[in-house]
Amino acid sequence: MTSPQPDQTEAGTLFEMVKGRYGDRLTEDQLEDVRKTVDSVVGNAEALRAVTLDNADEPPAVFTPYREEG
């Protein structure tokens, strides 16, 4: 399964916010890791936004039977 491509505008804006706040304390390698993480988070958020739910939708019920040991 391929991950969705993040919106570069949103990801870029969020990365610039992090870089502006913490950029002076991070190395170039760390900033690149932050950029990848922000891209991943934005991609996941877009995937969640793409799911439409009705008001009547409920979470799935998980049935786990109890088995007494002995």
Residue labelled with tokens 């991943």: 40
> How many CA atoms does the CB half-sphere of 63 hold within 13 Å?
1
Does residue 2 carry a pLDDT above 70? no
Report residue 52 as tokens: 């439409």
Cα gap 68→32, rounded to integer Å: 52
pLDDT, tens digit, for every residue of 4-62? 565 568 999 999 999 999 999 999 999 999 999 999 999 999 999 999 999 999 988 99
Residue 5 has a pLDDT of 61
Report residue 50 as tokens: 């793409």
Please give the angle made by the CA atoms of 61, 65 and 66, to the nearest 5 degrees: 135
Residue 67 has a pLDDT of 86
Residue 3 has a pLDDT of 55
Question: How much is the pTM?
Answer: 0.67
